[in-house]
Chains A and B, each alone.
Chain A
């Protein structure tokens, strides 16, 4: 158990819909990262938050947005969903730049 909690574990929705994925980082970690992993693909970095502020953006679509709240939990919002958005979405937290501790992921299926 990494200490990072992600909900929901599985989500099935239709094209055009909007979903919110939630992440609670390890106790004491200020950094939260979001990654996308499509079938048989590596980990694609989406966005990084540190103590509530956005610090780095990767290949995140404009239809996607995220935020980190004062209690340090984070949410990833995916809107106008397309079939190609089906993937595993991982949240990771880190005590300092370098080591990431991943949650178990949220598997999104868009039908």
Chain B
């Protein structure tokens, strides 16, 4: 099936640092979404992107839908301890109808205070 390559797999950063993670695929996607999952919780939608080139912010988070439609990145500025969690990218294939979102394997973020 379709795969999303998400990197890095994990990162340890100091509080206050900026974070960047990305997701790539060999396939074109119509929609890119970024989710965050905290321990013991379900994934929570952070940002949804619907157009190639779209740049969208949600507080300290910024995500972009790549021009080629095969990638997306998520930036977190001035990280804080509560940013800890697993960040998943997900994509919707064109004309996929009922096909569910394809998820990446996640980037595990640890923030050192």
A residues near B (Cβ < 8 Å) are 2, 4, 33, 41-43, 45, 48, 50, 55-56, 58, 90, 92, 97-105
Contacts and interface: CB of A to CB of B under 8 A. Distances in A.
A87 to B, nearest CB: 13
B97 to A, nearest CB: 7
A105 B39 CA distance: 11
Given A97-B97, A102-B44, A105-B42, 10 more contacts: A41-B105, A42-B105, A43-B88, A48-B100, A50-B98, A55-B97, A97-B96, A98-B31, A100-B100, A102-B43
Contacts of B104: 42
30 contacts: A2-B44, A4-B42, A33-B100, A41-B105, A42-B103, A42-B104, A42-B105, A43-B43, A43-B88, A43-B103, A45-B101, A48-B98, A55-B98, A58-B100, A90-B42, A97-B92, A97-B99, A98-B30, A98-B31, A98-B48, A98-B92, A98-B101, A99-B33, A99-B45, A100-B33, A100-B43, A101-B45, A102-B42, A104-B40, A104-B42
B41 A105 contact: yes
B66 interface: no
Contacts, number: 60
Contacts of B101: 45, 98, 100
Interface of B: 30-31, 33, 35, 40-45, 48, 88, 90, 92, 96-101, 103-106
A105 to B, nearest CB: 5
Contacts of B90: 100
A33 B42 CA distance: 13
Nearest to A33: B100
Contacts of B40: 104-105
A41 B9 CA distance: 11
The 4 closest A-B pairs by CB, nearest first: A102-B42, A55-B98, A42-B105, A56-B98
A55 B96 CA distance: 11
Contacts of B42: 2, 4, 90, 92, 102-105
Nearest to B108: A40
A56 B98 CA distance: 6
